[in-house]
């Protein structure tokens, strides 16, 4: 579980996050949604410690990440897996070398253990056949699978995904979403995903935080998203193609 308490963040005069409090639960796909510029990336970066918040608290389970010393923060970072926009793979490393990278950096495993773990992770995301290929030689969907395999290599407790299905066709996007959700449940990870894809919201939105202009405007799950009085959220949902399709079928 990750808990945010009264998070505030400004850049100079610009208030980007205002008093955000929420609990993201373990074993669930927690989504942060909102229009461009609403503060999703700043919030995700704050949660993982790439940005310092001005005030407020971030707890990893019962551990106060905000006031933690450098050494303890480093330990928590080892429990984080990340899938960045576009996959962010190392072009000069093969698929299996990409997945092995965090093991080389952060684990005390023997070479045999690493080999076994890489093989397990590639198998789990169904990409073992491509293990010798390089990122440029595989499709966008496969690159996302590799990014997920790399993110789970160290068996993380917390998984962070920034627009994990950007640039994918709608079918592959849903397949990637579902893979992230399955893995989240298998390892009981606390998974937080930044997205503005309404298909993702409907498919895997077990817990949703809607940010509007840096403020928590709504929280709920996908089943509740059409029943809200919140105008900003209604506008956001209405603007999505999916909602237009649903409306046209009603
Ligand atoms: N390092 C920074 N310095 C100054 N302003 C910043 C910085 N990072 C983000 N901002 C500002 O904070 C606001 C929120 O940006 P953020 O990237 O979090 O939005 P977002 O919701 O993730 O948008 P998108 O969906 O387009 O990625 C924007 O006005 C942005 O210009």
Ligand 1 and 195: CB distance under 6 A: no
Q: How many domains does the structure of the chain reveal?
A: 2
User: pLDDT tens digits, residue range 112-159?
Assistant: 999 999 999 999 999 888 899 999 999 999 999 999 999 999 999 999
pLDDT at 241: 60
Atom in ligand 1 nearest the alpha carbon of residue 37: 19
Structural domain span for residue 168: 2-79+157-249
pLDDT at 235: 81
Ligand 1 and 17: CB distance under 6 A: no
Which spans in the chain are helix H?
A: 40-48, 70-77, 95-106, 111-124, 140-152, 170-186, 198-204, 231-238, 241-249
User: pLDDT tens digits, residue range 180-207?
Assistant: 999 999 999 999 999 988 889 989 999 9
Ligand 1 and 38: CB distance under 6 A: yes
Residues 138 and 62 occupy one common structural domain = no
Ligand 1 and 46: CB distance under 6 A: no
Q: What backbone torsions phi and psi does residue 19 show, to the nearest 5 degrees? A: 55, 50
Per the CB < 8 A criterion, the answer to whether 160 and 82 are in contact is yes
Residues 66 and 102 occupy one common structural domain = no
CA of 43 to the centre of ligand 1 (A): 9
Residues 31 and 132 occupy one common structural domain = no
pLDDT at 87: 59
Residues 164 and 66 occupy one common structural domain = yes
Look at ligand 1, atom 25, and give the residue with the nearest C-alpha: 36
Residues 102 and 56 occupy one common structural domain = no
User: pLDDT tens digits, residue range 222-233?
Assistant: 888 887 778 888
Residues 71 and 101 occupy one common structural domain = no
| 248 pLDDT more than 80 | no
The DSSP 8-state label assigned to residue 221 in this structure reads -
Ligand 1 and 40: CB distance under 6 A: yes
CA of 247 to the centre of ligand 1 (A): 32
Residues 21 and 122 occupy one common structural domain = no
Per the CB < 8 A criterion, the answer to whether 17 and 214 are in contact is yes
CA of 145 to the centre of ligand 1 (A): 27
Residues 74 and 162 occupy one common structural domain = yes
Q: State the pLDDT confidence band at 81, using cuts at 50, 70 and 90.
A: very high
pLDDT at 86: 63
Distance CA 10, CA 45 (A): 13
Residues 60 and 171 occupy one common structural domain = yes
Per the CB < 8 A criterion, the answer to whether 118 and 100 are in contact is yes
Residue 238 belongs to a domain = yes
The lowest-confidence range among 77-86, 141-150, 153-162, 241-250 is 241-250
Residue 10 belongs to a domain = yes
Q: What backbone torsions phi and psi does residue 109 show, to the nearest 5 degrees? A: -70, 150
Nearest 10 degrees: Cα torsion 181, 217, 83, 36: 130
* Residues β-bridged to residue 190: 28, 158
ipTM over 0.95: yes
Query: Which of the listed residues 155, 180, 209 is the one where a domain comes to its end?
Result: 155
């Amino acid at each position: 579980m990750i808990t945010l308490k009264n998070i505030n963040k400004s850049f100079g005069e610009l208030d980007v996050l205002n008093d955000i409090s929420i609990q993201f639960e373990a074993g669930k796909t927690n989504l942060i949604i909102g229009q461009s510029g609403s503060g999703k990336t700043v919030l995700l970066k704050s949660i993982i410690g790439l940005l310092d918040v001005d005030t407020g608290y971030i707890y990893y389970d019962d551990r106060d990440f905000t006031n933690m010393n450098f050494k303890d923060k480093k330990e928590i970072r080892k429990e984080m897996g990340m899938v960045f926009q576009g996959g962010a793979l190392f072009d000069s490393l093969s698929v299996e070398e990409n997945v092995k990278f965090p093991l080389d950096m952060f684990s005390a495993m023997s070479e045999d253990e690493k080999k076994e773990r890489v093989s397990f992770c590639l198998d789990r995301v169904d990409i073992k056949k491509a293990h010798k290929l390089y990122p440029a030689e595989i499709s966008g969907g496969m690159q996302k699978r590799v990014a997920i395999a790399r993110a789970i290599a160290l068996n993380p407790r917390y998984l962070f995904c920034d627009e994990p299905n950007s640039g994918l066709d709608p079918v592959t996007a849903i397949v990637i979403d579902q893979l992230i959700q399955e893995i989240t449940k298998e390892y009981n990870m606390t998974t937080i995903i930044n997205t503005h894809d309404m298909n993702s919201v409907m498919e895997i939105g077990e817990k949703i935080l809607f940010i509007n202009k840096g403020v928590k405007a709504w929280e709920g799950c996908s089943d509740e998203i059409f029943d809200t009085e919140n105008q900003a959220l209604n506008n956001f949902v209405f603007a999505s193609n999916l909602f237009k399709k649903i409306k046209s079928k009603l």
